[in-house]
Chain A
Amino acid sequence: NAGVMQNPRHLVRRRGQEARLRCSPMKGHSHVYWYRQLPEEGLKFMVYLQKENIIDESGMPKERFSAEFPKEGPSILRIQQVVRGDSAAYFCASSPDRARANYGYTFGSGTRLTVV
């Protein structure tokens, strides 16, 4: 049973380009969470999604950032017109359902985004 798969592991974008980060949850998991980790800081919640629904996006910047989790395929975190301040590690986590999130998510290995 593969864990949470994130790709790419590293992503370099020039300022103004778009970044697309992908997350495939563990098999049987229908809840996905995205977190951002700035250098030397803890992870900060961005968005919580279930299949085809955004449940909580209270941690998402109002502009340029969007997330989706379609019926088929991975969850996508999209950052438009990237700026240097978007450089960070972006982590995806999944859980099988709302209740079992209490047991702790399973995290992916993250995507390190570097904006040059």
Chain B
Amino acid sequence: AQTVTQSQPEMSVQEAETVTLSCTYDTSESDYYLFWYKQPPSRQMILVIRQEAYKQQNATENRFSVNFQKAAKSFSLKISDSQLGDAAMYFCAYLGQGAQKLVFGQGTRLTINP
């Protein structure tokens, strides 16, 4: 079974600085999808960024980018120019090719210090 591990329960960063959240996963599949979701205090799950495993190019969405290392099974999220509104729980998630259920990590609570 696939597993997703986020080894940082909490992270903090100064406003306007850059922070990287770590995620590793375990799978025997070659094709799959990886996601980062943001969960603010409102509890809404918001899709931040998506990566297709067969694409070597790292995904980027404005201030959010990923470092996808397929061989190492690592999928970290970099947030540049951190803003107060980025404070939230961040979850890494895995979706196998043809599968329909997301496997989530335990989450990282990100605090932004003004």
Closest to A106 in B: B47
Write the nearest CB–CB distance from B104 to chain A, whole angstroms: 3
**Given that A33-B100, A41-B107 are contacting pairs, would A102 and B95 also be in contact in the complex, using a CB cutoff of 8 Å?**
yes
Q: How large is the interface on B (under 10, 10 to 19, 20 to 34, 35 or more residues)?
A: 20 to 34
**Given that A41-B107, A43-B91, A102-B95 are contacting pairs, would A109 and B101 also be in contact in the complex, using a CB cutoff of 8 Å?**
no
Closest to B44 in A: A109
- Asked if A104 and B106 sit within 8 Å, CB to CB, the answer is no
User: CA A98 – CA B52 in complex, angstroms?
Assistant: 16
By a beta-carbon cutoff of 8 Å, the part of chain B in contact with chain A is: 4, 33, 35, 37, 42-47, 50, 52, 91, 93, 95, 97, 100-107
Q: Name 27 A/B residue pairs within 8 A (Cβ), A-sorted.
A: A33-B100, A33-B101, A33-B102, A40-B107, A41-B107, A42-B91, A42-B93, A42-B105, A43-B104, A45-B101, A45-B103, A48-B100, A48-B101, A55-B100, A56-B100, A58-B101, A91-B45, A98-B100, A102-B33, A104-B35, A104-B47, A104-B50, A105-B47, A105-B102, A106-B47, A107-B37, A110-B44
